[in-house]
Amino acid sequence: MNEPRVSRYQYLTDTNPGTPAGELLRRYWQPIALLRDLPAENAAPLGARIMGQDVVLFRDEQGRPAALDRKCIHRCADLVLGRVEAGGLRCPYHGWVFDLRGKVLEQPAEPPAVAAAAMNRVKARAYPVHEAAGALWIYLGPGEAPLFPAYPALQGGAEHRYTCRWHGDANWLQASEGNIDPIHTSYLHQMELEDESMKGRWGVFKNPARPELSVAETRFGVRLFTTRALGNGGESAESGEKSIRITNFVLPNACAVGGFEGYLGDGGATMLWDVPIDNVSHYRWEFIFHKSGQLDRDSLEAQYATERDRSGAPHLRDRMWRTKETNYAQDRESMKEKTFLGLGPCFSVHDVVITQSQGEVHDQSLEHLASSDVAIIRARRQLDEAAQAVARGEDPRGVVRTERENDFRDMVVYTGTLAAGVSKEDYVAELERRTDLFALATAAAE
Ligand code: FES
Ligand SMILES: [Fe+2]
């Protein structure tokens, strides 16, 4: 009988507090809430679950955002039910007030002398937060938070970006690995491209469906090169030109994928983050950016809206309406000619559904990895090394603490044409030198 295989990387799926992968993911800023859900003008606190940990998010009376452990440190009442007042968040049970940093400002039922002594002794746990790119971000790790990373896809104001998230019922790692699997675009996402914008955006994934794939390590993760021979003969094309697509795995749970070169020109970048809610669910965050400010957010929003939960319940609005119980309403008729998967044209839905289909926590011991899984294999190894760095007390790869390191123009995502005789390395080096690639068009005009 065959011995059961064990993957040495399976442990990466467990991100609960105190686990090696949990400690690793906590060393990086993570998106935790859409700013839409924490508006300045609404004083209601917001509960959020991340990596098996519950926090309460709120803005103080001056509109400054804050994050505290969700249970009150007195006797564990739920601070989401609390009141924003008196310079912080007041627990609804016995009226203790906590400020942005967790300092106890009031214990109204205690004699003043007792309260004064206790307030210096006990403190709620507070976490650094940062507002950027339509999201509130949190740092859950120990020590001083690293710099907020200046990734190209996170720059600019709302006019440059569309930000949203999807709830997925699956472990974060399998979702993240789907993003660095460039082969699946030639299968899972194949569909009839009905208009010019679809052709411009997705035409590159058309045949041949056996692209060449190679990877290179970067200071922030893994760079992926996907090349496809151009011309009618696929691999036998005579010009020697190839289409080249450059994407990146970004430690520990993000990736930077395609721009919009096909219809908006240079300067597009999309980043995805798969943030664990707990070990069996995650949010897939999407930050879709183009420097030109020409993104058609309305049509993106309209397409996504057709796939969203239809109950109108606020706590379900990041979910899709399709459910596993009904086989996600797969349309076999459309699979004959229109789509490969039969779930409509929304890539996010394809990705969420297929990674859910792998099981709540993907069992790596059942896999038979192939050569085209090279980026996934490299990413697992990097995550493993990064977790070991954290265990040694070091900063893991990709964490930045100086302004010089925080220049991420080398996080190139690009789809272009590789001329015969030009190496991928030379091609990407040229792109890295371009100071205009992601420079905001509006900033350049000023
Ligand atoms: S439980 Fe919060 S003040 Fe008592
Ligand atoms: Fe995908």
Q: What tens digit of pLDDT does each residue of 80-90 get?
A: 999 999 899 99
pLDDT (0 to 100) of residue 2: 62
Distance 274 CA to ligand 2 centre (A): 13
- 167 against 205, higher pLDDT: 167
Ligand 1 proximity of 97 Cβ (cutoff 6 Å): no
Q: What is the pLDDT of residues 183-201, one digit of tens each?
A: 898 899 998 877 766 666 6
Q: Which of 93, 97, 98, 123 to mutate to test the pocket of ligand 1 (most atoms within 8 A of CB)?
A: 93
Q: Is 376 within 8 Å of 368 (Cβ atoms)?
A: no
Decide: 75 in ligand 1 pocket, CB within 6 A.
yes
Q: Is the CB of 72 under 6 A from ligand 1?
A: yes
What domains are defined for the chain? 29-132 (2.102.10.10), 146-445 (3.90.380.10)
DSSP tag of 51: T
CA neighbor of 375 nearest in space, from 254, 227, 214: 214
| CB 83 less than 6 A from any atom of ligand 1 | no
The span from the CA of 296 to the CA of 322, in Å, is 25
Cα–Cα distance list, 275 to 87, 339, 420 (Å): 31, 29, 40
- 356: Cβ–Cβ under 8 A, 6 or more apart, which residues? 168, 169, 170, 324
Taking the CA of 91 as reference, the closest ligand is 1
Provide CB contacts within 8 A for 390, sequence distance 6+.
20, 23, 24, 27, 396
Mutate to test the pocket of ligand 1, among 69, 96, 123 (most ligand atoms within 8 A of CB): 96
pLDDT at 440: 79
Write the pLDDT tens digit of every residue in 100-122. 999 999 999 999 999 999 888 99
Q: In what order do the strands lie in the sheet with 135-138?
A: 30-34, 135-138, 129-132
The pLDDT of residue 444 is 42
Residues, beta carbon < 5 Å, ion ligand 2: 351
**Distance of CA 148 from the midpoint of ligand 2 (Å):** 27
d(CA 162, CA 264): 15
